[in-house]
Amino acid sequence: MAGGLLLCAVGAPGPALAAGPANDDCLSCHDDSTLVRETGATSVAVDPAAFAASMHGAAGAACVDCHVDLAAEDTEFPHAEKLAKATCDGCHEEAVADHAESVHAAARKPDGSPAATCAECHGTHDIAPSGEPRSRTNHFQIASTCLRCHADPAIHPPKPGAPPGRSPTHFNDSIHGHALLVAGLNVAPNCADCHGAHRVVAARDPASPVNRTGAPQTCGACHEKIVLAFEEGVHGRQLAAGNEAAPSCADCHTSHGIVQAATSTWQARVIGACGDCHRPAIRSYRSTYHGQVTALGSTRIATCASCHDAHAIHPSSDPRSTVSAERRLATCQQCHQKATAGFASYDPHADPSDKSRNAAVYYTAGFMKFLLVGVFAFFGLHTALWLPRSWAERKRHATGAGGAPESRSPDQEKPS
Amino acid sequence: MTQAADPRAGRRAATETHYRRFDLFDRWLHGALMTSFLGLSLTGLPLLFHDAPWARLVSGIFGGPLFAAMLHRVFASMMIATFALHLGRLAKKIFVERQPGILWGPTSLVPQPRDLTEMLGHLRYFLGQGPRPRFDRYTYWEKFDYWAVFWGMGIIGGSGLLLWFPEFFGRFVPGWAFNVAMIVHGEEALLAVTFIFTIHFFNGHLRPEKFPMDPVIFTGRVPERELREERPAEWARLERQGRLEGLAAPPPDAADLRRSRRIGATAVAIGLIMVALTIYALLRGH
């Protein structure tokens, strides 16, 4: 992108084509740093040094290459107060055309809202090649450039349904944000790496690189091996086949707040993400020791992915599946090293209400319910009946009245 | 009656003759059983009600689910040892001392026809249709408590061991045995916890005659009036056998009673809190 801009600028030697005033002519007025429009506040000053240091200045571009309405031979100076907006498409035709189809352009059209044009992201007279650290579109700068608007609730209010209290800059705290901004990795993705730069479209648009159908390809640009396993797996195949219920990357990993998968908090949370679709499975999982302990926050024992794998998920009938008859024992043995075939025939998703799946479980659960209800029915009644009698006994004792207790009445004396 | 009436035996009974009911061994055994049972419930219930709002808190008090799991095994070992000691002593009484009356008769905990008639008589008494049955050493509800714990030891203890050493037992039993063990362990534990913390507490301690607690399991002795009134058949039998004198003991001293009450109140408080949390979770559908 940087190279493209540079080549374009170099390949369009402005001064040769443009007529009109030379840069020095313009700067004879505009180098006054106090210069403002007649209406007052808006500065129209240009810092000659900054322009000279910019990629356009360095390439010898003329002011009128962008401020094209001043290029006409008959322009009189001082020029009109209101000029046409500086245009970029003289050189950057493709980028401008892409932008025209973006959400930024669409958001700007109807109500003139401050959605990004070229200058919002690239700057104006001081545009530096994105290879330079000072550039607003430098690999490590793009996040803060985007967040100038996207973290400002006045410009970009949080989406309805966003988790309350979520920081608009939560990308910075994600594994990607951390790799980019703290670890400074040039391979870490910035906003544009996933969303594209000029033709940013809404994620729901199939043309978006972050659309649920296209996301595996986008994520796979870096996470190549993961996406290969995912695409072979049942989720990937269903997604590719157009099943709208099939999960894409972000359904499990989220999009901006992606947390390192090795962390306990994420592993505990992603169980819920699996359970959003696999309801009976999460219910039965939660009735096992694995599910109980992970529900209490420890993920040192099996989560969904421990047995089913995270990306290479296949139906258990498929020999490639980690829970297939062929591979199940080895899967158990990852943690239970001395597990036997008998051990591995445990049903981790038994359903006490499903007799056909596991009759022993069904009848055991039924018997335990019967026992619980039976014991409490009898002793509940027993206690309820005893309470008033016991109360009466206590009162009889407390008042010291009542003579011989009933149990000692002579007609009850029997040899024991 | 030898004493101005006060159901809270002992509080103002400092001069009354007492009779030994539980020896030191049994009292310590009950103490160990009580401690391990409370420990097991506190470290086990958060798993059973893992999505109740209090589960993480209680689990956290015991160091999180994995440390609590270790403590659960420590308390389990303590309870198994308690049960083994009880069984050992029982075997000694039966096979070595050849004590009559352990397996049958008025001093045996084995259910007998008289328990059925006493239970029916007691129910009639509840309804005002008859006198209180003339109980002997063990009443039917005490026998139920005993055998419920006995059964629970086998069921919860057995299933617990299966779940503790799955790789070992997996060599001998099919996988569904672990499924069954998991259900049985949780459901039977739920039954045990709710039963002990409500019915046993009521029968033994909280019913108005005994409220707030019956210290006999800690002091080991029962006041004469209470023995004569609540277990007239035992009193009559001991009198007939001429054994009363041998069992007579001075009343427990004040410090003993205070300690008993403190221990008892703590256990009852923990138990009632646990049962309240359990009922809350059950009602909320967790």
The Cα-based distances of B255 to B11, B82, B226 in angstroms read 11, 26, 21
* Among B175, B180, B237, beta carbon nearest to A345: B175
CB A345 to CB B194 under 8 A? no
User: CA geometry: angle at A348 spanning A345 and A349, to 5°?
Assistant: 120
Residue of chain B whose Cα is closest to the Cα of A396: B5
Picking from A70-84, B93-107, B131-145, which range would have the lowest pLDDT averaged per residue? A70-84
Q: How many angstroms separate the CA atoms of B124 and A159, rounded?
A: 69
The three state secondary structure string of chain A is CHHHHHHHHHHCCHHHHCCCCCHHHHHHHHCCCCCECCCCCCECCCCHHHHHHCHHHHCCCCHHHHCHHHCCCCCCCCCCCCCCCCCCCCCCHHHHHHHHCCHHHHHHCCCCCCCCCHHHHHCCCCCCCCCCCCCCCCCCCHHHHHHHHHCCCCCCCCCCCCCCCCCCCHHHHCHHHHHHHHCCCCCCCCHHHHHCCCCCCCCCCCCCCCCCCCHHHHHHCCCHHHHHHHHHCHHHHHHHCCCCCCCCHHHHHCCCCCCCCCCHHHHHHHHHHHHHHCHHHHHHHHCCHHHHHHHCCCCCCCCHHHHHCCCCCCCCCCCCCCCCCCCHHHHHHCCCCCCCHHHHCCCCCCCCCCCCCCHHHHHHHHHHHHHHHHHHHHHHHHHHHHHHHHHHHHHHHHHCCCCCCHHHCHHHCCCC
For residue B92, the surrounding DSSP H or E stretch is none
* pTM (two decimals): 0.82
Tally of CA atoms within 13 A in the half-sphere of A66 that contains its CB? 18
Residue A76: strand pairing partners: none
Is A208:A202 a contact under the CB 8 Å cutoff? yes
- Section A15-43 average pLDDT: 80
- Section A164-183 average pLDDT: 91
Is A18:A26 a contact under the CB 8 Å cutoff? no
Can you give the pLDDT at residue B71? 98
Structure confidence at residue A409 as a pLDDT band (50, 70, 90): very low
Can you give the pLDDT at residue A7? 41
pLDDT tens-digit readout, A264-319: 889 999 999 999 999 999 999 999 999 999 999 999 999 999 999 999 999 999 99
Q: Chain A: nearest CA to B64, how far in angstroms?
A: 8
* Among A365, A390, A396, beta carbon nearest to B183: A365
Residue of chain B whose Cα is closest to the Cα of A382: B123
pLDDT at B225 exceeding the cut of 60: yes
CB B50 to CB A286 under 8 A? yes
Q: Tokens at residue A88, please?
A: 């970029």
For residue B63, the surrounding DSSP H or E stretch is none
Please report residues of A whose CB lies closer than 8 A to that of B141. 382
What percentage of chain A carries pLDDT values higher than 70? 90
Q: How many angstroms separate the CA atoms of A209 and A211, rounded?
A: 6
Q: How many angstroms separate the CA atoms of A89 and B242, rounded?
A: 118
Picking from A119-133, A182-196, B9-23, B157-171, which range would have the lowest pLDDT averaged per residue? B9-23
pLDDT at A252 exceeding the cut of 70: yes
Structure confidence at residue A69 as a pLDDT band (50, 70, 90): confident
Mean pLDDT of chain B: 92
The Cα-based distances of A338 to A30, A303, A306, B182, B271 in angstroms read 81, 20, 17, 20, 38
Helices (H), B21-112: 24-48, 55-61, 64-91
Please report residues of B whose CB lies closer than 8 A to that of A386. 126, 202, 207
pLDDT at B183 exceeding the cut of 80: yes
Structure confidence at residue A135 as a pLDDT band (50, 70, 90): very high
pLDDT at B238 exceeding the cut of 50: yes
CB pairs under 8 A between A and B: 176
pLDDT at B237 exceeding the cut of 70: yes
Q: How many angstroms separate the CA atoms of A379 and B194, rounded?
A: 12
Picking from A44-58, A112-126, A166-180, B104-118, which range would have the lowest pLDDT averaged per residue? A112-126
Q: Tokens at residue A215, please?
A: 């996301």
Residue of chain A whose Cα is closest to the Cα of B205: A390
CB contact A288 to B (< 8 Å): yes
pLDDT at A236 exceeding the cut of 50: yes
Can you give the pLDDT at residue A397? 81
Interface predicted TM-score (ipTM): 0.89
- Section A190-207 average pLDDT: 94
Preferred mutation among A283, A340, A351, A357 to probe B, highest tally of B CBs within 10 A = A340
Can you give the pLDDT at residue A19? 66
- Section B11-20 average pLDDT: 74
pLDDT at A228 exceeding the cut of 90: yes
pLDDT tens-digit readout, A326-367: 999 999 999 999 999 999 999 999 999 999 999 999 999 999
Can you give the pLDDT at residue A400? 64
First to last CA, chain A: 104
* Among A347, A369, A390, beta carbon nearest to B207: A390
Can you give the pLDDT at residue B16? 85
CB A391 to CB B208 under 8 A? yes
